[in-house]
Structure 1
Amino acid sequence: MAPSRPAPRPAFAALLRAWRDRLSPADAGFTVTAGRRAPGLRREELAQLAGLSVDYVLRLEQGRARNPSPQVVGALARALQLSRAERDQLYRGAGLLPPRDGTVSDHVPAGIQRLTARLGDVPIGVFAADWTLVWWNAMWSALHGDPAVLPAAERNLARALFGDGAGHALMRPVRLERGRDAFEASIVADLRDAVSRYPGDTRLDRLVRELRGTSEAFARHWAARTSAAPHTGDRKTVRHPEVGDVLLDCDVLVVPGADLRVVTYTAAAGSGDADRLDLLRVTGGRTATAIP
C-alpha cells in the first residue's frame, strides 16, 4: 500500500491569500500604476520578495504544495510584513512550530521593511544577529549579485567571508579602507557577542563550529579574544564586473529591539561613483558600458 499523503493545509493557503491582498504594493517597494486592479500584492510580486517561484506560490495558495519548509514560511512572513503574532500563526498554519524565543530571529518588522522599501535608490541589506542576510532590495542584488540564487544557509556574511562555498563564490572583490584583517576581526567579534546572547541557538552554534574547523583565519580571530570593535561601517571599493570599481560608504545601522543590522551603501553626490550606482539602478547590474 502506498504511504498516505499529508492532508492539504487550507488555513495556511487562506492566510497567504488574505495577507497578500492586504499588503500595499507601495509599502513593499513597488510602483502603483493607475490601471492596477489587484488590491494588494500580485502573486509574482510576493514570489519576487520571498525569493520563490510564482508557480510554487500559486501551489501554496491552492493548497497543492503541502509541506513548506521553515525557511519558506519565514521568507513569506518577511515578504508579507507580518507581525510576530501573525508570523507565528503562519508557521502553525503550515504545521510547523514558530521560532523559539532566545534564538536568533530572522523577523524583519513591517516598519523596517516599509522604511527600507522607500530607499530603493540605495543598496540595502538587512542581517540577523548571526550575519545571515534576511532581506535585500534590487539595488543590493545589482551591486553584490542576487542572493536569491544561493541556498539559504549560504546567505551568511561570515560563511561567505571565511568559507569556500557558493556564498564565497558570489562575493565580488572588495578593497576595504580599514583592511581585510580588521573587517574579519569585527565580524568574528559580532558572532562572539551573538553567542553570548543566544547560547541555545543551533544555527549560530553550527556556524561557529563549522568555521572554527574549516577556516584558519576564523579560528585565529576566535582564539585571539581581543576587544575588536563590532562592524559599524567602512569605505569599500567594490569591483563590479559591469561598471568597474565603485567607492562607497558602507554604514551599519542597528535596529533597537529587533537585533537586526541594516547595511547601506552610498556614494557622494555628483561623483563618478554616484554615476556608477545610477547605472546599476538602470541596468540592474546586467551588461552595461562601464563609466571611466
Structure 2
Amino acid sequence: MGGEHDSLPALLRTWRKRTKVREIQGLTASGRRAECLTQRDVARLVGVSERWYGAFERGVEAAYSPVFLNRLSSLFRLSPAERQTLYLKVLGHPPAPTGSVSAGAVSEIDVQLLQQFLDNQDPAPAFATDLAWNVIAYNGALLHWFPWVSVEVNQMRWILLAPEARYQLVSWRRDWARPLLGRIRYERAHHPNNEVLIRLERDVLAGSTDVREMWELREVADSSPGRLRRLRLPCHRGREVAVRIVAMRLMYGESLYVNVLLPDPAGDEDVI
C-alpha cells in the first residue's frame, strides 16, 4: 500500500488534515483544536480504536472492510474519484457498483462530461441517478450537503429508511416519503419485470412500518420538478433552507436523470 507523495499514508494524512473539526457535528472546536481532525477523532467517529486507525494510516496491511472504507469516505467527504482511489489502494479494486437498471446506460454516456456538467452547477448541489435512484455521479456541493452519498448511494433508500432523513427533510412524510413512494409505484408499473426496481420496492417496504403504511395508500406520482421543498441539514447548522429540485432526463440515456437543487430565498422567507 506504499508509494511516495501519493502513498496511502500520505493521502490519508492530507484528507484528515483538511477535515475541520468545526465541520463535524458533535465535536467541540476551540483554538488550534479547530484546525483538523486527530487520529483519535477519526477512530472514534468511524468506530475503531485509536491504535487500529493509527496502524491503518501508517499503511499497515490488514483485512480492511468496505464498511470501514465507506465510513472513512463519508467522514473525510471524499469525492467519487478520491473514494475510488482509497478502494484501489486498500483493496485493489474500485467500490462495488450498486446495480443499475440498465447496465449499458452508464457506458453509453461520457462519464467525464457528465461529471464536468455536475461540477459546473456549483455552488448548487447536483447529482445524476439511474432509473432505480442509484446515485452514479455528484458534485462537491452535494457531498457537502449530504455526506451520506459516499456511503449509501441509493437516494430512495436513504430518504425512506435513514433515521436522520426524517429530521433533515422537513415535512418528511408529506413532501418526501409519500411522493417518492408514488414514484416507485409509477416506475414499477412501467417496468414490471425490472429486478432492480422489484428489489428496491421490497427493501424499502421491509425496512419501515411507516413506509408500509404509506404504501397501502396506493398513491401514484410522476416526477414533480420545481416543487418547493425544505431541508434542515447539519452543514446549515440546522437552519431550514428552501430548495427547488430541477430534474432533467438525459437525451442519450432514457434511464438517467440529472437533478439540481436550487436554493430559493423566497421560500426561506416563509419558514417560521
Choose which of 159, 162, 167 in structure 2 pairs with 1:161: 159
1:173–1:238 CA contact under 8 A, matched in 2: yes
- Corresponding residue number in structure 2 for 1:286: none
2:198 partner amino acid: D
Aligned partner (choices 83, 97, 100) of residue 71 of structure 1? 97
Indicate which of 179, 186, 199 corresponds to 1:186. Answer: 179
Distance in 2 (alpha carbons) for counterparts of 1:162 and 1:236: 16
Task: Tell me what 1:210 maps to.
Answer: 203
SS in 1 for 2:243: strand
Three-state SS of the structure 2 residue aligned to 1:121 is: coil
- The answer on 1:266 being equivalent to 2:262 is yes
Q: Give, in angstroms, the shift of residue 100 of structure 1.
A: 8.3
2:183, 2:220 within 8 Å by CA — same for their partners in 1?
Answer: no
Change (3 A) 1:107 1:135: farther
- TM-score, with length taken from structure 2: 0.54
List 4+ stretches of structure 1 deviating above 6 A. Answer: none
Other-structure match for 1:241? 234
Letter of the structure 2 residue corresponding to residue 220 of structure 1: E
- For residue 71 of structure 1, give the secondary structure of its aligned residue in structure 2: coil
CA–CA distance in 1 between the matches of 2:215 and 2:232?
29
Q: 1:141 to 1:188 in 2, by over 3 A?
A: same
Whether 1:255 and 2:237 are equivalent positions in the alignment is: no
Q: 2:85 aligned to 40, 44, 54, which one?
A: 54
1:143 is matched with which residue? 145
2:36 is aligned to none
Superposed counterparts of 1:4-153, under 5 Å: 48-50=79-81, 52=83, 54=85, 56-57=87-88, 65=92, 70-71=96-97, 105=105, 109-110=109-110, 111-148=113-150, 150=151
C-alpha contact 1:174 1:238 (8 A) present in aligned 2? yes
Label 1:237 to 1:201 Cα distance change in 2 as closer, same or farther (>3 A).
same
CA separation of 1:200 and 1:106: change in aligned 2, threshold 3 A: farther
Q: Tell me, in whole angstroms, the C-alpha distance in 2 between the residues paired with 1:224 and 1:160.
A: 21
Asked if the contact 2:119–2:139 (Cα under 8 Å) also holds between the matched residues in 1, the reply is: yes
Cα separation, partners in 2 of 1:205 and 1:249, compared to 1, 3 Å: same
Change (3 A) 1:113 1:172: farther
Distance 1:138 1:210, change over 3 A: same
Write out per-residue CA displacement over residues 81-133 of structure 1, whole angstroms, 9 at most, x where no aligned residue.
xxxxxxxxxxxxxxxxxx785x6955582243332222222111212111222
Structure 1 Cα separation of the partners of residues 232 and 175 of structure 2? 20
C-alpha spacing 1:106/1:172, structure 2 compared with 1 (3 Å): farther
What is the distance in 1 between the residues matched to 2:230 and 2:220?
26
Map 1:193-204 onto structure 2 (within 5 A). 193-204=186-197
Can you list the C-alpha shifts for 1:171-225, whole angstroms capped at 9, x where unaligned?
Answer: 761225xx73243232122222332344443332222112223323332343333
Task: Decide whether aligned partners of structure 1 residues 123 and 203 sit closer, same or farther in structure 2, where only a CA change above 3 A counts.
Answer: same
Alignment partners' CA distance in 2, 1:195 and 1:57: 35
* Deviation larger for 219-228 or 132-141: 219-228
The alignment covers a number of residue pairs equal to: 186
Cα RMSD for the two superposed structures: 3.6
Would the alpha carbon gap of residues 106 and 213 (structure 1) be closer, same or farther in structure 2, given more than 3 Å must change? farther
Secondary structure of the equivalent of 1:141?
A: helix
The gaps in structure 2 that reach 5 residues or longer are: 1-77
Residues of 2 paired with 1:106 and 1:173: CA distance? 30
CA contact (8 A) 1:144 1:172 kept: no
| Percent identity over paired residues | 17
Name the SS of the counterpart of 1:183 in structure 2.
Answer: helix
SS of the equivalent of 1:224 reads: coil
More helix by share: 2
